[in-house]
Structure 1
Amino acid sequence: MNQIQFLQVGKDDAKEIAALTGELLQEIMQKTGQAAFCFDEHETVQRLREFIAEGHYRVIAAKIDRQFIGFASLYPSYALYAEGHFGTLAEFYVKPEYRRKGVGKMLIQKVVDYGCTQGWKRLEVTTPSLPEFDQTLAFYQREGFEITGGRKLKRLLETA
């Protein structure tokens, strides 16, 4: 395997990261058998560019040569239970052909390093549905994440 680069991506890389996001969401829906996401690549590119421009959303990507092979997106969060400022890992994806080769482990370390520079007390991540994603849970546990209980819930809101 060629040399892997890790970089914090900017707005110019939004199309490539949006495509990886589509792969991630498709994999989740395929494994769970649920159409849980509405994905529009063009809208995702625009949204990602806005998030990056606002300065509150970071994407750290893994790249070999000119091809993006994985990414992690994260943003700052605040909560009393978490003792203040912490990071939320919103999306994490490595292309299937690069899994079990250390790419995810290195990418998580880059995320941890970034979080430390931000003064975050912790990182939080929610896995997709279990048992379909037991291997994902096991990966995060190997990388030092602990189960804190509960389930992720959502409620869609109507905007004015």
Structure 2
Amino acid sequence: MKFKNIVPTQVERILADSELIISKTDTKGKITYGNRPFQDYSGFSENELLGVQHNIVRHPDMPRAVFKLLWDEVQAGREVFAFVKNLSKDGSFYWVFANVTPSFDMEKNIVGYFSVRRKPKRSALPQIAVLYQKMLHAERQAGSRDAIEASLQILRDALKNAHSTYEEWVLNLQNA
């Protein structure tokens, strides 16, 4: 992929309160639709986005375990919410509060995924960033084979300490 060498910067782009970033993918995660705000915030044109993996906007600060959780949920036919730090083509970043849902055909087969991202609650981001840093550290310490499980354990421990399920926790952070 020609965009794999984007160098992240410390420049943050903040979504407008009313802005919605919308995209659709096929079952393999290849982008089939991206609205104008998705193009604007990512910095990629429609032609650069269509047909490529959605992880084109994955920021290196994002733990792999978050995406494992997300994929497990949507592939099982359930919606999922997550705080996600995305990478723009110019190296800047933008945080989103994502709602990802599976799309079904008439026979109830999953045919793709639909994601609506909005501005995250700013007060939630420091807590999310610290957790994601711990998860990333666990992934790096564990090595490739055990990285995701080590990172998921950090998340499980945080949820246990919060006496919460994942969904309750992220929704409470977003709605606080």
TM range (shorter): under 0.3
TM-score in terms of structure 2 length: 0.25
- TM-score, normalised to structure 1's length? 0.26
Higher relative contact order (CA 8 A, sep 6+): 2
